[in-house]
Structure 1
């Protein structure tokens, strides 16, 4: 009797293992379309586009490649600009988080960031960045391929800027 119970128990275990070890679904597979980067839709103000154009014209004048606008980069810039307005100060707080987000979501290999406050023209903000060695080095970095921007006003009608550069 013990032998029959053991054989029955053993048979049930073997059948369970055989049924559960199907090769039809042996892992998690991402469809190829999920592996491709998909950018978000954004609209840019004329002022934002003027700044990006000024940066590209400057880069061209230095024999550097121009950069392409990438909306997902601007999304990170918008978030940071709102954060700076909330604090009422310019900063690079949480830059590592933005970098990680862009590495994950935009296939960025390298990330750089310029911030500014108070300028009222595209040429003005560009000149402000160019007069700062660390900001100028980011603008003149030839490895960058894409960029994004955010320009927002605070309650006192003062502009805050975040310009993020990435290499893909």
Structure 2
């Protein structure tokens, strides 16, 4: 009885030993056919079991064979190792767009005043060579040159209007503002009326900072609204004002009318 137990135990131990290497080889991609090896080992095992059965006559070989077949089916199954998921690439951080540089504010002439509603015309003193400062006279000359280029007649200097333009330039300087609307005189059209200027059409250009007549005229001619005043066929007379302050800042005024 004891010998039979030992033999059976040894037989089962052989089965376990033979099954373990088979799984290990499969994991290492061995060229040995694990299934054939097991079948061969179990064939020898069955033969030994038959011998045991013949010797003892009491060992149920059929049941043990069924048990061994079930174990074989479990042992020969290949376990697959799940693939490690790839780590997703970290998205690149968006670049911060460069902040556009703030353009420097040029000494651009102010928006020209809208022509006023006509007033009752009156007689005004005009002359082609009114008493003007050198810079004011140069501005008039440049205005008439631009008008000649497009076939328009030259504007005549209105000395009274020139005086109003000079007052407006002084007001820009003294009240430290830059606008067509004066805190002292109101709109340019109200100001003209206060100084006795009457018109059927009127307009105004102002500028600050330009050092010469050619510089201020270049600025006005490169601004559509100011250019439109200079080349307006409705106007027949002009007055120009020019002053500077203690720091050398310049203030320019053009006034246009048609009596």
After TM superposition, is the score higher than 0.5? yes
Q: Which runs of 5+ in 2 are unaligned?
A: 1-121
Which deviates more from structure 2 when the two are superposed, residues 55-64 or residues 40-49? 40-49
What RMSD over aligned residues (CA atoms) do the two structures have, in Å?
A: 2.2
Higher strand share: 1
How far is 1:39 from its partner? Answer: 3.3
Match of 2:123 in 1: 37
Match of 2:240 in 1: 149
Greater relative CO, 1 or 2 (CA 8 Å, sep 6+) = 1
Match of 1:59 in 2: 147
C-alpha distance after superposition, 1:25-56 (max 9, x if no partner) = xxxxxxxxxxx735399731111101110000
Q: Distance in 1 between matches of 2:155 and 2:178?
A: 24
Q: Return the index of the structure with the highest Cα Rg.
A: 2
TM-score (norm 1): 0.71
Aligned with residue 191 of structure 2, among 82, 98, 106 = 98
Q: Distance in 2 between matches of 1:40 and 1:65?
A: 15
Match of 1:75 in 2: 163
Q: Which runs of 5+ in 1 are unaligned?
A: 1-35
SS at match of 2:253: strand
Number of positions where the alignment pairs a residue of Structure 1 with one of Structure 2? 132
Match of 2:202 in 1: 111
Match of 1:136 in 2: 227
TM-score (norm 2): 0.47
